[in-house]
Amino acid sequence: MSIKFGASILSWIPPLWTPEGGKYAIAQSQAAGFDLLEILLPASMEFDALTVKRQLKQHHLEAVCSLNLPANCHIPYYPKVAVKLIKAALDKTATLDVTLLGGVLHSAINVFSGNLRTAAEEEIICEVWAEVADYAQHLGITIAIEPINRYESYVCTSAAEVLQLIERVNAPNLALHLDTFHMNIEEDNFREPIIAAGNRLAHIHMTESNRGMLGEGNVHWDDLFGALAEINFQGNLVLENFSSSVEGMATAVSLWRPSRHPAWELARGSLKFMKENAAKYNLV
């Protein structure tokens, strides 16, 4: 196993998957030189996995899947509905012959209780994770869970919180999915969460602090790549930056100022940055 360099569909299209948009994202990712595409699955599960699998193969591209829970699947409130959706996402992932499902799988984005996470909520989350991890294990899939910032969730905002709950569940196929945009807000630094995760770290969204070109913001990339070298990281480095040159993206992800770079330039420049730093730290 070795590091794979990927792009999120959000590098090319807005969050809502369409057959036309997906086909475009696949073609663009291959043309830009990425190894894989991260497919953000729609909560509707209106997703023709067999056709997408064929398109990926035609473009010599691998894939990973992700899912962000919608409001009606907020685990502390609606655990059974959340289990049903996550299992449906795992089925789509399996049909693609993909072995990783990442994303915000601890809570719904932008759903808040108004209080701190409770012990009872933790118990519900662990029960859901145990059930879906068992289901995923039979499909040969790892579930990687992404902490996000305090303005989008109250449930898991740091790597330590996710790792603590993973330890409680104790399922071998539960892993950590980090995102450098959220880390820049919530973590004390970029090294310690990676070291603490070790081989539990499976997937990273490589995102600048301003969602722009990697290396042009405040993320401490040397600390991050140095830590990845320390743990001999073998997972995915997936670009998730956004450009207002993509129609509909500004409203979808709150790009209230025009982006400095168009999507193609942003993707190619950021991929070059990732590869150069991975080589600098002997990760490739």
Indicate the average pLDDT of the chain.
96
Q: What CA–CA distance (Å, rounded) separates 156 from 169?
A: 15
CA 35 to chain centre: 16
Question: CB under 8 Å to 83, separation ≥6 — which residues?
Answer: 128, 131, 132
**Residue-wise pLDDT tens digits, 22-61:** 999 999 999 999 999 999 999 999 999 999 999 999 999 9
> 146, 152, 186, 187: which is the annotated catalytic residue?
146
Q: Give the pLDDT score at 2.
A: 81
Contact between 179 and 145 under an 8 Å Cβ cutoff? The reply is: no
Q: What CA–CA distance (Å, rounded) separates 124 from 83?
A: 11
Domains of the chain: 4-280 (3.20.20.150)
Q: Give the pLDDT score at 253.
A: 87
Nearest CA-CA partner of 142 in 180, 190, 105, 196: 105
**Residue-wise pLDDT tens digits, 224-250:** 999 999 999 999 999 999 888 888 888
**Residue-wise pLDDT tens digits, 119-139:** 999 999 999 999 999 999 999
Tokens of 224: 């991050």
Catalytic residue list contains 131: no
Number of separate helices (H) and strands (E) present in the chain: 10, 8
Catalytic residue list contains 146: yes
Contact between 207 and 176 under an 8 Å Cβ cutoff? The reply is: no
Q: Give the pLDDT score at 1.
A: 56
